[in-house]
Amino acid sequence: MKKLEEIKTYIIKQKCEYCKDGEMEFDCTVKVINHKEYFPHTCNKCGDKELYNLKYPYLSYFTKDGNKINHAFGSPVIWVQELGVKDV
Ligand SMILES: [Zn+2]
């Protein structure tokens, strides 16, 4: 028997850690360092460039009381913490 449960969907964005204002945008390229893939991003305000192990933004799903359903790899993001969810 199937059961439907409503969930919350969040878009996870990465703020620029340099200017603290812009948002990091994926450059649509891949860099391979020591057999691992990294994704170059550029800040849309100051142009700062960073490499991440995932592409921002991405979607993440939570139960109504804030528990994460799928585990996306990556580091916690300030904007998500501001939303009051328990885990990223
Ligand atoms: Zn910036």
Q: From the CA of 82, how far away is ligand 1's center (Å)?
A: 19
Mean pLDDT value across residues 2-11:
87
pLDDT at 87 exceeding the cut of 50: no
Q: From the CA of 42, how far away is ligand 1's center (Å)?
A: 8
Q: Please report the pLDDT score of residue 3 as a whole number.
A: 86
Q: From the CA of 41, how far away is ligand 1's center (Å)?
A: 11
Q: pLDDT tens digits for 8-61?
A: 888 999 999 999 999 999 999 999 999 989 999 999 999 999 999 989 998 888
What size, in residues, is the chain? 88
Q: Please report the pLDDT score of residue 84 as a whole number.
A: 52
Q: From the CA of 45, how far away is ligand 1's center (Å)?
A: 5
* CA pair distance 73, 51, nearest whole angstrom: 14
Boundaries of every domain in the chain: 16-83
Q: From the CA of 1, how far away is ligand 1's center (Å)?
A: 49
Quick one: how many helices (H) and strands (E) in the chain? 1, 6
Mean pLDDT value across residues 63-84:
57
pTM beyond cutoff 0.85: no
Neighbours of ion ligand 1 (CB under 5 A): 16, 18-19, 22, 43, 45-46, 48
Q: Please report the pLDDT score of residue 38 as a whole number.
A: 92
